[in-house]
C-alpha cells in the first residue's frame, strides 16, 4: 500500500567543531525550512551537489536524525511519534543507502540478512521465513541459492539488490533511496534503476529518490526537487524541470546533461557552474546561490540577490522556484533548454548479460 508523504518546514541543524581543540563551535543548518509533498505511488527525485543536504533530509524524514517541523507518512505524524512508535515507523518506511557493502553485515549470510527484519517486525513465524526469503530474492531478480552466500561473495549490483530486498521485506509503503546506484558500474546502474521502477509499480510504493546526477534522477522521477545549501530552490514535474526550469542553478544542471544528437551537442551553449558549494556554516547573505550565479552576473549584480533570501513561489503550472529573477531567466537565451529531452519509462540497459 502506498502512502502520501508530506514535509512541512523541516529543519535540521548540527553543532560543529564542539570539543575540537582550537575550533570554535557553531551551528550548521543542513536542511533549512524544507516543505514538499510526494503523492502516493509517485517518485520525487531530489538532486543537488554533494553537501547540499539531500541525505540529511531523507534521514530526517525517517527520524534517523533529529529535526523540527512536520513529516507525515500516510497517517503517521513521524516527528511526534513516541519512541515505542518507531518500530511501526520502520515497518512503514525504509531507506536504501548508496553503499550496500557498508549496510550489510559481512558475517551474516544473505538468507539471515533477509530473515532478520521478518523476525524483528514479527511478520512471520520462523518456519515460514525461508519461503519469504526466496520470494524476496525472486522479487529483486536474484537466484534463491544466493541465500547461502555472504555479502563479499556477491557483485556490487547483487549486493544492492539484497539491500533493496531487505528494505521491502517489511512491506513498507515508502522508501528513501539515497543514491542507490551511485556506487555501481554504469552498466549495472540501469538494471537496478529498472528494478526499482518495477518494484514501485508492483508493490505500490512511494519513493524519495536522492541523487547528485540529474541524468539518473530524471529517468525515475515523476517530479524533481532541486536542493542547494539546505533549501529546495526549484520543484516541478520532471518534464517541466528539464525543458522550462525556473532557477539558474537548475539551468546549470540541465545544461550539463548529455544531449543525444551530436549536432545539437556541438552548437549548444553550456552553462558552467564555477566554484564550490559554500559552507553551510557561513552561508552567503541573500540568495545562497548568488556568488555562483550566471544570471546574477548577466543582470549586472542586482543588490536584491545579496540582501534578500528568495522564497519558493509558484512560477508556472505545478512549478515553484526560489529566484527573484525567474521571469528574466525565462527571457534569457541561456535560460532555455536546447532541446526537449523526454522522460523514458525504462532506462536503456547498455550492456547485455546477467543481472549485476
Neighbours of 335 (CB within 10 A): 22
CB of 16: closest distance to ligand ADP in angstroms?
A: 6
Nearer to Mg ion, 55 or 160 (CB): 55
**Which partner, ligand ADP, Mg ion, none, binds residue 14 by CB below 5 to 8 Å per kind?**
ligand ADP
Nearer to ligand ADP, 237 or 283 (CB): 283
Looking at residues 44 to 103 of the shown chain, list those that interact with ligand ADP (rule: CB under 6 A). 48, 50-56
Looking at residues 251 to 310 of the shown chain, list those that interact with ligand ADP (rule: CB under 6 A). 280
CB of 24: closest distance to ligand ADP in angstroms?
A: 15
**Which partner, ligand ADP, Mg ion, none, binds residue 28 by CB below 5 to 8 Å per kind?**
ligand ADP
Looking at residues 30 to 59 of the shown chain, list those that interact with Mg ion (rule: CB under 5 A). 55
**Of 306, 258, 295, which is closest to residue 273 (Cα–Cα)?**
295
5, 7, 28, 34: which one binds ligand ADP (CB under 6 A):
28
**Which residue minimizes CB distance to Mg ion?**
55
| Residues with Cβ within 8 Å of residue 303, at least 6 apart in sequence | none
CB of 65: closest distance to ligand ADP in angstroms?
A: 7
**Which partner, Mg ion, ligand ADP, none, binds residue 172 by CB below 5 to 8 Å per kind?**
none
DSSP 40-88: TT-EEEEE--TTSSHHHHHHHHTTSS--EEEEEETTEEGGG--GGGHHH
CB of 49: closest distance to Mg ion in angstroms?
A: 10
CA dihedral 319, 321, 324, 326 (to 10 degrees): -50
| Sheet (strand 5-16) strand order | 26-38, 5-16, 68-73, 76-77
Is residue 161 within 8 Å of 187, Cβ to Cβ?
Answer: no
The pairing of strands 313-316 and 319-321 is antiparallel
Binding site residues, Mg ion, CB under 5 A:
55
Amino acid at each position: 500500500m502506498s502512502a502520501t508523504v508530506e514535509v512541512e518546514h523541516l529543519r535540521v541543524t548540527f553543532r560543529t567543531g564542539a570539543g575540537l581543540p582550537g575550533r570554535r563551535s557553531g551551528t550548521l543548518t543542513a536542511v533549512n525550512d524544507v516543505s514538499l509533498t510526494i503523492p502516493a505511488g509517485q517518485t520525487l527525485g531530489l538532486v543537488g551537489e554533494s553537501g547540499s543536504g539531500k541525505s540529511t533530509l531523507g534521514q530526517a524524514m525517517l527520524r534517523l536524525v533529529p529535526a523540527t517541523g512536520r513529516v507525515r507518512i500516510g497517517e503517521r505524524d513521524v516527528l511526534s511519534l513516541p519512541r515505542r512508535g518507531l518500530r511501526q515507523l520502520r515497518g512503514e518506511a525504509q531507506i536504501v543507502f548508496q553503499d550496500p557493502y557498508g549496510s550489510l553485515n559481512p558475517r551474516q549470510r544473505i538468507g539471515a540478512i533477509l530473515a532478520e527484519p521478518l523476525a524483528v517486525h514479527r511478520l512471520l513465524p520462523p518456519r515460514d521465513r525461508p519461503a519469504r526469503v526466496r520470494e524476496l530474492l525472486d522479487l529483486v531478480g536474484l537466484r534463491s541459492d544466493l541465500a547461502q552466500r555472504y555479502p563479499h561473495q556477491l557483485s556490487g549490483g547483487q549486493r544492492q539488490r539484497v539491500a533493496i530486498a531487505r528494505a521491502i521485506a517489511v512491506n513498507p509503503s515508502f522508501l528513501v533511496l539515497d543514491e542507490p546506484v551511485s556506487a555501481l558500474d554504469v552498466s549495472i546502474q540501469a538494471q537496478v534503476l529498472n528494478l526499482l521502477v518495477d518494484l514501485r509499480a508492483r508493490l505500490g510504493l512511494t519513493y524519495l529518490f536522492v541523487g547528485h546526477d540529474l541524468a539518473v534522477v530524471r529517468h525515475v522521477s515523476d517530479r524533481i526537487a532541486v536542493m542547494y545549501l539546505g533549501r529546495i530552490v526549484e520543484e516541478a514535474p520532471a518534464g517541466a524541470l528539464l525543458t522550462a526550469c525556473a532557477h539558474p542553478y537548475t539551468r546549470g544542471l540541465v545544461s550539463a546533461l548529455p544531449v543525444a544528437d551530436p549536432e545539437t551537442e556541438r552548437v549548444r551553449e553550456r552553462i558552467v557552474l564555477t566554484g564550490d558549494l559554500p559552507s553551510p556554516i557561513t552561508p552567503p547573505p541573500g540568495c545562497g546561490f548568488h556568488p555562483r550565479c550566471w544570471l546574477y552576473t548577466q543582470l549586472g549584480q542586482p543588490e536584491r540577490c545579496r540582501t534578500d533570501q528568495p522564497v519558493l513561489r509558484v512560477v508556472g503550472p505545478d512549478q515553484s522556484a526560489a529566484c527573484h529573477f525567474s521571469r528574466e531567466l525565462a527571457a534569457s537565451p541561456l535560460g532555455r533548454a536546447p532541446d526537449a529531452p523526454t522522460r523514458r519509462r525504462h532506462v536503456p540497459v547498455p550492456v547485455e548479460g546477467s543481472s549485476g
